[in-house]
Amino acid sequence: MEMIVAKNYEELSQISAQMIAEFIQKKQDAVLGLATGSTPVGMYKKLIGYHNKEGLDFSKIITFNLDEYVGISPNHPQSYHKFMKETFFSHINISTSNIHIPRGDQPQIEKQCESYEQAIKDAGGIDIQVLGIGSNGHIGFNEPGSSPEEKTRVVQLTESTIQANARFFGDEALVPRLAISMGIKTILESSKKIILLASGEEKANAVQGMIEGEISTQLPASLLQLHKNVIVIADQPAAKNLKMINKSLNSVYV
Ligand code: F6R
């Protein structure tokens, strides 16, 4: 894994956006795997800036989002469809037909999960997969205990994830208990490169375990140690528990 410790959230957002922008400039039809949540919002804002100020072209870009809640429609204010549209897609020139986000409101979810896997394969896999990390070490909605053999499927959210996401719904009772998520296997096998973003002290234990701990399904992010091309970009609070690295360095390899 490569590890970059950013001075702060602003720098984390800048570094990640720049990596993606440079990739898109080289490969105009790049396939991006995208995450929701608070952490990548700054990166999306910077990418919108590259589009507006420097004409970064998203017209041929294909995207696959990691996850969506089950039981809410794309128009629900807290759906990941809505989040992606408002935070990113409506501000760039991406073609709607190139956007893929699981639908949590449709029957035959299992069939849909299979089609999602197939669509990723048909696109030639994911060039860059952006991930956040839960304070319990989840990636996507692959909660502790998830098997590295699992693909896109319906998952049960843990209590800690429900509590963490209650801030978006206003009330914990309103947070859906189920979601569709790309599996660890999907992430590990389809992604050519993974950029994981971690910001804030509440991620410090998960970040330390992911990088310096043993590979364990109890901390799903640690399974990323099995992938050959992972860059973790953490701000200083999120990196504060790392033992092996000299935090005064900006970029280190572990
Ligand atoms: C979101 C996702 C989740 C988040 C994680 C961190 O699509 O897959 O794994 O990345 O829960 O969320 P934030 O960034 O809100 O702390």
- The answer, yes or no, to whether any atom of ligand 1 lies below 6 A from the CB of 3, is no
Average pLDDT, the chain: 95
Active site residues: 67, 136, 138, 143
Q: Which tokens is 75 given?
A: 């128009």
Q: What b/e string do you get for 56-82 counting C-beta neighbours within 10 Å, with b at 16 or more? A: bebeebbbbbbbbbbebeeebebbbbb
CATH topology of domain 2-253: Rossmann fold (3.40.50)
Give dist(CA 154, CA 147) in Å, integer: 13
Is-above-0.75 flag for pTM?
Answer: yes
Task: Tell which residue, 142, 8, 175, 156, has the closest CA to residue 76.
Answer: 175
Candidate from 141, 191, 197, 202 with most ligand 1 atoms within 8 A of CB, to mutate: 141
- Tell me, what's the pLDDT at 252? 55
Atom of ligand 1 nearest to the CA of 65: 7
Per-residue pLDDT at 69 exceeds 60: yes
Q: What is the pLDDT of residues 206-253, one digit of tens each?
A: 999 999 999 999 999 999 999 999 999 999 999 999 987 654 444 555
In the chain, what are the domain boundaries? 2-253
Q: What is the pLDDT of residues 112-161, one digit of tens each?
A: 999 999 999 999 999 999 999 999 999 999 999 999 999 999 999 999 99
- Tell me, what's the pLDDT at 244? 74
- Tell me, what's the pLDDT at 246? 52
